[in-house]
Amino acid sequence: MMAERLDGKALAKSIRARLAERIEREGLRPGLLLIRVGEDPASVVYVGGKEKASKQVGIASRVEVMPESTSESALLARIAEANEDPSVHGILVQLPVPKQIDPDRIAEAIAPHKDVDGLHPINQGFLTLGAPRLVSCTPLGVLALLHRYEVPLSGRHVVVLGRSQIVGRPLSVLLGLKAPWADATVTVCHSRSKGWESLTREADVVIAAMGRPEAVTGQHIRPGAAVVDVGIHRIPRDHGKDALVGDVHAESVEPVAGFLSPVPGGVGPLTIALLLTNTVYSALASAGKAGTSGPVEFALEMADVTSR
């Protein structure tokens, strides 16, 4: 038996289709402002991908490129303007920013209800307090993926490897919330953790987000467990070719796990898809059409998993 593939690419596609339908039906015109400061090659690719995916579903996205030498105050002024602009429902400043700019000040400057990346401290706080508003896209993507494949979470033991601000920590809080779509028992391990292997070996779900290539192997996983791989690394292989790998050593984990997300094609495509659900939610809320559901419930609805 080989692990069932948690196909993030297919889920992202179906989320985009549902978003397009919803935007059309509601006659929405969601606006997403993507700000890139400088010409970091990876950022050029990421922002391009976000723009393209937004346009596909009918979001009016706009990329603004500011020069590498942009001052913090100039960027803050641009954000303040976008905060007031009723045609903009989501604001994202691509990270990393040049060193003269403090990313924490940028995160705090974005109006919380337009913070589609979920990085404002007050949004992290609402999450921690158990009443999440906009949540970071990768944690939301992992949640949607697990639900799409009906991996049970309530009462189950989830081990999150990694405690980063944008993945490990918010994901661990999200999965442990008192909510019908969460309610997991969650352990967070990190570089200082002693004996994390004995914890993953007993876990029902393992989320690998430590940023170390192929660090999780078949020996670390309980037979039948679900494994979600958040890492992505380009590493050299034989014959001078590069390969894309995750934090999971797929070859040894596949014969052991019950479910495994591939790299590429797992969590990656979902990060962008959930940025879109956040943006559309924000537009719905500003039009008074969000009803009683929050952005997490909306994301699960777009992933077509609310009835499960």
What does the binding site for its own copies look like in residue numbers (CB under 8 A)?
104, 120-131, 154-157, 163, 165, 169-170, 173, 176-178, 183, 185-190, 192-196, 198-199, 202
Q: How far is the CB of 23 from its own copies (least distance, A)?
A: 30
The answer to whether the beta carbons of residues 280 and 22 sit under 8 Å apart is yes
Rounded to 5 degrees, φ, ψ at 276 are: -70, -40
One-letter amino acid at 101 equals I
What's the length of the chain?
Answer: 308
User: Number of H helices and number of E strands within the chain?
Assistant: 11, 11
Q: How far is the CB of 20 from its own copies (least distance, A)?
A: 33
50 is catalytic: yes
The answer to whether the beta carbons of residues 4 and 259 sit under 8 Å apart is yes
Cis check: omega of the bond before 236, within 30 degrees of 0: no
Whole-angstrom distance, CA of residue 133 vs CA of residue 148: 21
Whole-angstrom distance, CA of residue 88 vs CA of residue 81: 10
Q: How far is the CB of 130 from its own copies (least distance, A)?
A: 6
Q: How far is the CB of 164 from its own copies (least distance, A)?
A: 9
- DSSP H helices, 166-225, are 168-176, 196-200
List 115, 117, 204, 247, catalytic entry: 117
| 90 in a labelled binding site | no
Distance of CA 139 to the CA centre of its chain: 5
Residue with tokens 């969460």: 182
| 307 in a labelled binding site | no
Judged on CB neighbours under 10 Å (0-12, 13-18, 19+), 83 is middle
- Is the CB of 73 or the CB of 165 nearer to its own copies? 165
247 is catalytic: no
Q: How far is the CB of 184 from its own copies (least distance, A)?
A: 8
| 164 in a labelled binding site | yes
The answer to whether the beta carbons of residues 148 and 305 sit under 8 Å apart is yes
| 163 in a labelled binding site | yes
Task: List the catalytic residues.
Answer: 50, 94, 117
Binding site residues for NADP(+), as ranges? 162-164, 232
Annotated binding site: 162-164, 232
